[in-house]
Amino acid sequence: MSLLRVLLVLATVAASDAASRPLWDSLARLQPETEESPQAAAVQELLERLLGPRAASAFSVSINRSLAGPGGLDTYRLRSGALGVIEVAGSTGVAAASGVYRYLKDFCGCHVSWSGSQLRLPDRLPPVPTEIIVTSPNRFRFYQNVCTQSYSYVWWNWDRWEREIDWMALHGINMALAFTGQEAIWQRVYLSLGLNQSEINEYFTGPAFLAWNRMGNLHTWAGPLPLSWHLKQLYLQYRILERMRTLGMLTVLPAFSGHVPHGILRVFPRVNVTRLGSWSHFDCTYSCAYLLSPEDPMFQVIGTLFLKELIKEFGTDHVYSADTFNEMRPLSSNPAYLSKVSAAVFRSMTGADPSALWLMQGWLFQHQPDFWRPPQVQALLHGVPLGRMIVLDLFAESKPVFSWTESFYGQPFIWCMLHNFGGNHGLFGTVESINQGPFKARSFLNSTMVGVGLTPEGIEQNDIMYELMTDLGWQREPLDLQQWTAKYATQRYGTTNTQAMEAWQLLLRSVYNCSGVCVNHNHSPLVHRPSLRMVTDLWYNKSDVYEAWRLLLSSASELGASNTFCYDLVDVTRQAMQQLVSDYYLEIKQAFQNHTLSRLLMTGGVLVYDLLPELDNLLSSDGRFLLGFWLEAARNVATSDREAELYDLNARNQLTLWGPSGNILDYANKQFGGLVLDYYGVRWSLFVSTLVECLNTGTPFHQNQFNQAVFQVERGFIYNGKRYPAKATGSTLEIATKIFLKYYPSAMKHVY
């Protein structure tokens, strides 16, 4: 055991209160570089964006670093000042913004979420009767998964980024990835190394797949990146970094993980590279990364060159992210080799920034647990000095890694809720696990936990889970979930409505209460390629969702004007209809297996000609559920028709085939108006008509033949050349009511 490690363990053991636990020097030094008064001004401006001009006189924001708790723990203070002004002080801008949000929620009943905000303020702001001081037990409150960049942010403009960063500050996020625009820097570096443009073009993927290019999983697919892409992303990155830093957030920049384009082999023929295996369902046309040997001098040359160039361009907060073996098996399980790789990655960071700290996603450990046995995990982690790496325990709510690795063998870690895969719609949550998990992790033997995080692959779904998790970031013990949920409903709609509150209690105990190993992939037959072997079982009692649906609809007369309510009404109706699709699917299957043609025609007909079109109508009535919104956002980034076509292809392919031939088919499925009718609907229609044909001709159903035929339908959607409206049509309430009247009775029939 090294001296440092002994000291560390002693120090950790000595601390009883989590908040007073000493931190590694390297972490304590990580502080926002922005001065106090610009941070205060940034929060004040945020408030004016949020609340309008009245915020200027209603709130007085100040930043004072010495408010921070031990080791730099964020702290805010709220009190009433002269003339009813609400005084907010924070140790950082983020701390102050969190304080303001706490005030807005608890004193004014407000709510800010991805799907909308509820910001009706009383004419006179309620006073804070006694001063409130809160210190977060979490040094870091982290946000983002490498994948979020592709599944959610890929087409964003500055307006959308600005809203997101505001959301982050209000929700207490003080550390986040800042990955935009990195390809522009890589392009510069590769050109300077002697690669030519066509070698670079064939390396980068298209915009919607860059997350996996960055982790070495994928190359070439849906590319190349136009020059205008790089310029636009650079511009965005400047603004993103500037805003995040003035609010007092720590930005995490990308670093070199060891993967190189094929062109490197032409320029440096003697370079020692090994080729990793293929990734997921791709072959080497689009995967099989070239990984530089950790001992090859070019590793340091390229890694340091990139990071120096990046820092020169963007400055730095000294935290860098790199993932070498994400879902890719290393060539050797020899611990010495694994340590050499992580040491090489880290050295290429310190070569550019001596105080570099490596933030690594811990997904790999739980993804290939047969390879990553304790000696392999320890070797990779110990290639880096203790305290110079932070591991994201990426999926801690379901598959925590800290618990079987002696708390990452002494490296600090962040307990993260992953929650969402591929940005799927579908109500889902593991409330008990996230309400308990972080507290258990902090009191784990010799725990090295330094924070909590959100690491969803996609956002803009299940607001409640993110509200809960970010609230927990300031808690010292679990919350009373029922009570918290009642408050959530009230704040979200701006009024206390008993039925809405009951609806949320039902959702809390059902869809949001998955326990055990819960993977939120929407497995509903609705969004998958039909077959006779689809899984329809659920982790909850579906009658709770139907009842919540009924309750929300009956509160519509009171809440119908609320924009967050309308979103939830669409979302819960959507969930109910997704359940109904499973019922119809089972009936179709049974009718086919019983050779009951009339029954097959009936149930198949209802599904294809009524249920799915009605679902499409419902989704099309809300701008937050529109295919057109996603596609138009993609087109808006383009500077020419050719670029628009490329981006449109990227946007459609990611939602559907995910690759040229359905490689990761329907992984990132969405329930969007337009997509349900023209993609899922057409597919279901082909399935039903194929089954009818089989019964009519007395032939068996061949899945392989069907797959070939349906692939044409799926591809057909991508190239259908249709433009979809980016504006909602129809009244959500009318459509939802109509669907309810038509389907609620049959839904309930299937419950009993």
Q: Which is nearer to ligand NAG, 41 or 751 (CB)?
A: 751
Which of 94-102, 555-563, 576-584, 593-601 is the region at the interface with ligand NAG (rule: CB under 6 A)? 593-601
Give the span between the Cα atoms of 204 and 101, in whole angstroms. Answer: 40
Which of 69-77, 298-306, 493-501, 508-516 is the region at the interface with ligand NAG (rule: CB under 6 A)? 508-516
Interaction residues for ligand NAG, span 415-434 (CB under 6 A) = 431-432
Residues 6+ apart with CB under 8 A from 588: 600, 603, 604, 607, 688, 691
CB of 634 to ligand NAG, least distance (A): 27
Q: Which is nearer to ligand NAG, 355 or 515 (CB)?
A: 515
Give the span between the Cα atoms of 521 and 22, in whole angstroms. Answer: 39
In 10 A of CB 196, how many CB atoms? 12
Residue type, 416: C
Give the span between the Cα atoms of 364 and 375, in whole angstroms. Answer: 14
Of 169, 545, 570, 591, the one binding ligand NAG by CB under 6 A: 591
Q: Which is nearer to ligand NAG, 447 or 653 (CB)?
A: 447
The candidate with the shortest Cα–Cα distance to 356, out of 414, 316, 324, 407, is 316
φ, ψ (nearest 5 deg) of residue 361: -70, 130
Which of 190-198, 242-250, 451-459, 619-627 is the region at the interface with ligand NAG (rule: CB under 6 A)? 190-198
Q: Which is nearer to ligand NAG, 430 or 654 (CB)?
A: 430
CB of 512 to ligand NAG, least distance (A): 7
Give the span between the Cα atoms of 414 and 141, in whole angstroms. Answer: 8
Q: Which pair of tokens denotes residue 741?
A: 């009247």
Q: Which is nearer to ligand NAG, 15 or 535 (CB)?
A: 15
- The yes or no reply on residue 715 touching ligand NAG (CB under 6 A) is no
Of 347, 367, 476, 599, the one binding ligand NAG by CB under 6 A: 599
Which run of H or E residues covers position 614?
Answer: helix 612-620
CB of 593 to ligand NAG, least distance (A): 7
Give the span between the Cα atoms of 661 and 675, in whole angstroms. Answer: 19
CB of 62 to ligand NAG, least distance (A): 7
Q: Site for ligand NAG (CB under 6 A): how many residues?
A: 32
- The yes or no reply on residue 598 touching ligand NAG (CB under 6 A) is no
* Cis geometry, peptide bond prior to residue 224 (ω within 30 degrees of 0): yes
Give the span between the Cα atoms of 202 and 263, in whole angstroms. Answer: 9
- The yes or no reply on residue 37 touching ligand NAG (CB under 6 A) is no
Which of 209-217, 299-307, 586-594, 704-712 is the region at the interface with ligand NAG (rule: CB under 6 A)? 586-594
Write the interaction track for ligand NAG spanning residues 531-550; mark x where CB under 6 A is met and - where it is not. ----------x-x-------
Provide the residue count of the chain.
752
CA 532 to chain centre: 32
- The yes or no reply on residue 481 touching ligand NAG (CB under 6 A) is yes
Interaction residues for ligand NAG, span 56-95 (CB under 6 A) = 64, 66-67
- The yes or no reply on residue 218 touching ligand NAG (CB under 6 A) is no
Q: What is the DSSP letter of 73?
A: B
Determine the residue with CB nearest ligand NAG: 293
Q: Is 414 helix (H, G, I), strand (E, B) or coil?
A: strand
Give the span between the Cα atoms of 387 and 25, in whole angstroms. Answer: 8
Q: Which is nearer to ligand NAG, 207 or 604 (CB)?
A: 604
- The yes or no reply on residue 197 touching ligand NAG (CB under 6 A) is yes
Give the span between the Cα atoms of 322 and 737, in whole angstroms. Answer: 49
Q: Is 170 helix (H, G, I), strand (E, B) or coil?
A: helix
In 10 A of CB 496, how many CB atoms? 13
- The yes or no reply on residue 483 touching ligand NAG (CB under 6 A) is no
Interaction residues for ligand NAG, span 334-393 (CB under 6 A) = none
Of 445, 641, 696, 700, the one binding ligand NAG by CB under 6 A: 445
- The yes or no reply on residue 640 touching ligand NAG (CB under 6 A) is no
The candidate with the shortest Cα–Cα distance to 136, out of 68, 87, 43, is 68
CB of 489 to ligand NAG, least distance (A): 14
Give the span between the Cα atoms of 342 and 379, in whole angstroms. Answer: 9
Of 74, 183, 199, 714, the one binding ligand NAG by CB under 6 A: 199
CB 390 within 8 A of CB 358: yes
Give the span between the Cα atoms of 501 and 499, in whole angstroms. Answer: 5
The candidate with the shortest Cα–Cα distance to 675, out of 718, 637, 729, is 718
- As a dihedral over the C-alpha atoms of residue 318, residue 376, residue 663, residue 457, rounded to 10 degrees, the angle is -40
- The yes or no reply on residue 746 touching ligand NAG (CB under 6 A) is no
Of 163, 329, 476, 509, the one binding ligand NAG by CB under 6 A: 509
CB of 287 to ligand NAG, least distance (A): 19
Residue type, 552: L
Of 31, 368, 475, 596, the one binding ligand NAG by CB under 6 A: 596
Which run of H or E residues covers position 177?
Answer: strand 175-177
- The yes or no reply on residue 648 touching ligand NAG (CB under 6 A) is no
CB of 99 to ligand NAG, least distance (A): 15
The candidate with the shortest Cα–Cα distance to 343, out of 295, 274, 407, is 295
Which of 102-110, 148-156, 422-430, 507-515 is the region at the interface with ligand NAG (rule: CB under 6 A)? 507-515
CB of 732 to ligand NAG, least distance (A): 27
Q: Is 145 helix (H, G, I), strand (E, B) or coil?
A: coil
CB of 75 to ligand NAG, least distance (A): 10
Handedness of CA 398, 404, 407, 413 (dihedral sign): negative
Interaction residues for ligand NAG, span 240-279 (CB under 6 A) = 266, 272, 274
Contacts with ligand NAG by CB under 6 A lie at 9, 13, 64, 66-67, 196-199, 266, 272, 274, 293, 406, 431-432, 445-446, 481, 508-509, 513, 515, 541, 543, 587, 590-591, 594, 596, 599, 751
